[in-house]
Amino acid sequence: METLQSILSVHPFFNDLPTQHIETVTGCVSNVRFKAGDVIFHEGEEADHFYLIREGKVALRIHSERRGPLTILTLGEGDILGWSWLFPPYRWKFSARAIEETRAFAADGKCLREKAERDHDLGYELLKRFAHVVEERLEATRLQLLNVYQDQ
């Protein structure tokens, strides 16, 4: 049987992460499942987890005063969902809703923050990866914005 640790170790996000760090991270991770239509997290609420999507599709949405919820990105297998657990005020800036049945690993953000704070080798590796995830999100949003401008 595949262990949680062996599944995590082949996830692209943890590529090249030393085994002892994978072990540490595994201690903060659990299996979760969402039905189509489930809200995974809600803008403004406390952000205490992030998710590695194993299967399914998730819409990342932001609320517009004028037009209600707008999907800014759709995430799927292999993607990382959520980084607001990293920074004060630890509140979600977006909402996430499963648009298909979704299986994911949920990592406890507080548990990881404490471990990263104690072990900066782990902390550096994790932060480097998350900074990159956030940067990729920035790039996706930038391209989307350029599309909107070019269509106008």
Binding footprint of another protein on the chain (CB under 8 A): 62, 64, 70, 72, 83-84, 86-87, 93-94, 116, 120-121, 123-124, 127-128, 130-132, 134-135, 137-139, 141-142, 144-146, 148-150
Nearer to another protein, 45 or 121 (CB): 121
Measured distance CA(152)–CA(147) in Å, rounded:
9
Give min distance, CB of 39 to another protein, in A.
19
- Residues with Cβ within 8 Å of 76's Cβ and at least 6 positions away in sequence, in order, are 53, 56, 57, 58
54 close to 103: Cβ distance less than 8 angstroms? yes
Nearer to another protein, 1 or 128 (CB): 128
Residue showing tokens 């595994």:
26
Give min distance, CB of 101 to another protein, in A.
27
Measured distance CA(93)–CA(115) in Å, rounded:
24
Q: Residue 110 is which amino acid? A: K
59 close to 106: Cβ distance less than 8 angstroms? no
Nearer to another protein, 35 or 118 (CB): 118
Nearer to another protein, 36 or 127 (CB): 127
Structure tokens belonging to residue 2: 């595949």
Give min distance, CB of 33 to another protein, in A.
28
Give min distance, CB of 136 to another protein, in A.
8
Measured distance CA(143)–CA(38) in Å, rounded:
28
Give min distance, CB of 92 to another protein, in A.
11
Nearer to another protein, 34 or 137 (CB): 137
